[in-house]
Structure formats: C-alpha cells, structure tokens
Chains A and B, each alone.
Chain A
Amino acid sequence: MIPLSWYLVLSAALFSIGLFGVLARRNAVAILLGIELMLNAVNINLVSFWRYNDPTRMDGQVFAVIVFAVAAAEVAVGLALIISVYRRRNTVAADEIDLMKW
C-alpha cells in the first residue's frame, strides 16, 4: 500500500512547479496553466486526505468537486479577459499589460 506521504510530497512538488510557472512566465495564458497545476496539486491533497482519514466521510471529495467547478469558472473568465486584452492591446505578455501600472 502507498503511504500518505508519497501523495503529499508529490502534490507539494506539483504545487511548487505551478507556482514557478505563475511567477516566471511572461505569457498570461501560461500563467493560467500554472494556476491549473496548483489547483490540481490541491485536489490530489484533498482526495488523498479523504482516503487516508475516514473514507466514509465524503468531505474531501465534495471539496474536490467544488474546486473543479471553481477552476472551470476561473479558466472561462480568465481566458475571456486575456482574449479581450489581446483584442485591444494586441499582446498577451503580462509585463506589457501595464495600463494600470503607476
């Protein structure tokens, strides 16, 4: 049987890689890809805690389902914003979208 620690370490590594993507990429779509990686790491954590704690209580899985819904909403709005910005400014590089930068 796989110990809980393997899942937790894997999801921590996945979360860190996603964070690196969010912080280091210039393209706004790539930043959203990093956020997806982070959300997936969280989901792996939630489901493994469900399995290793008390499988008859469904809290972990319910939380994972809600995370799915929120991730879908976030991607839809985020990509719509990026496409809208692209139409107006003709760029999706995060450091060139500086209209509100002081």
Chain B
Amino acid sequence: MTVAQIVFLITAAVMLGSAFMVVTTKNLVHAALWLIVTLFGAAVLFATLNAGFIAVIQVVVYIGAIAILFIFAVMLTRRTMSETGAGLNPNWWLSAAIAVILFGGLAWLLRGWDGFSKAAPALPSGFDSVGALAQALVSPEAYVLPFEVASVLLLAALVGAVYIAFQKKGEE
C-alpha cells in the first residue's frame, strides 16, 4: 500500500458515502451539502491524477457555482417539501435494482477488458499539462471550435434561464 493508494481509498469511501447521503437524505439542503463533499472528493481524485487545472476548476465551478446555485434553488422552493412526505418514490426498490444491475453490468464489462488494471505511464519530464490543455483548447488543429460552441451554449443557456425564471409584472 503506497500513500497514494491510501489517499485514494479514503477519498473513495468518503465520496461513496456522501453520494449515498445525497440520494437518500430527506432534507434537500443537507443533500446539497453532501453533494459538495462528493464534489470535493472528485477534486482530490483529479489532483491524484496530475490534472491540477481540472481539480481547481472542479472546486471553483462545481462547488463555488453549481452547488451554491442548488442551495439557492432549494431555499426558493422550500415550502412544500416538508409537506410532501417521503423523499423517494413508492417503487424506489425498482430504481435500486436498476442501479445495482447497471453497476454489476459495468463491472462485468470492465473485467473483460484487457486494459482494465493498467498502470499509469510516467509523465514526460518537464511536461506542462496546463499549458498543453490551454494550447489544445485554442489551437485550430485541436479543439477551438468545440470550445467556442461551448461558450455560445453557456451564453444561450444563461439568457434562457433568466427569461424562464423572470417574473413578469402582474403575474403571481
């Protein structure tokens, strides 16, 4: 057992436990807070994978923006949630069965793949993954077009979100 493996196992246990809490807690504010724990665990995993930029983005965008947005939405729609009773469907066991079958199927599928227990290749010495990512995102030979499309998508989505959630005068 190396240190990296111990870090991974602890992070994985925390992530799975908090993910389970996300989908089972009745109180949605608590569920959103557990989601933050899970997202933070994912950031730790990105750091163990030498993807520092993605780890920082995970903390800034996911925890700093998306999770906070969730907490706001829970607070804005809160009133009825305590009245509606159970947080789960009456036939939640069917969903649980589907999830377990999916996990079993994925594990079975992955076990048959010969690259499954591959070890990581060493990074080339002096390799700058952030610089390489930046070049890949703006180079015309690589991903400049998807990058621009993603920015247009974000703009359109935000304008659409403002329009949908906007309350017109005299409407209540």
> Count of chain A residues with Cβ under 8 Å from any Cβ of B?
74
> Count of chain B residues with Cβ under 8 Å from any Cβ of A?
93
Number of A-B contacts (CB under 8 A): 261
| Supplied contacts A47-B51, A77-B161, A81-B164, 10 more A-B pairs, CB within 8 Å | A16-B100, A19-B98, A24-B23, A44-B42, A52-B119, A65-B133, A72-B61, A73-B156, A80-B165, A93-B80
Q: Chain A residues with Cβ under 8 A from B88's Cβ?
A: 24-26
18 contacts between A and B (CB under 8 A): A4-B117, A7-B45, A16-B100, A24-B88, A33-B35, A33-B70, A37-B19, A40-B38, A52-B120, A55-B50, A61-B51, A61-B54, A61-B129, A70-B153, A77-B160, A83-B165, A90-B79, A93-B84
CB distance from A58 to the nearest CB of B (A): 4
Q: Chain B residues with Cβ under 8 A from A33's Cβ?
A: 22-23, 28, 31-32, 35, 70
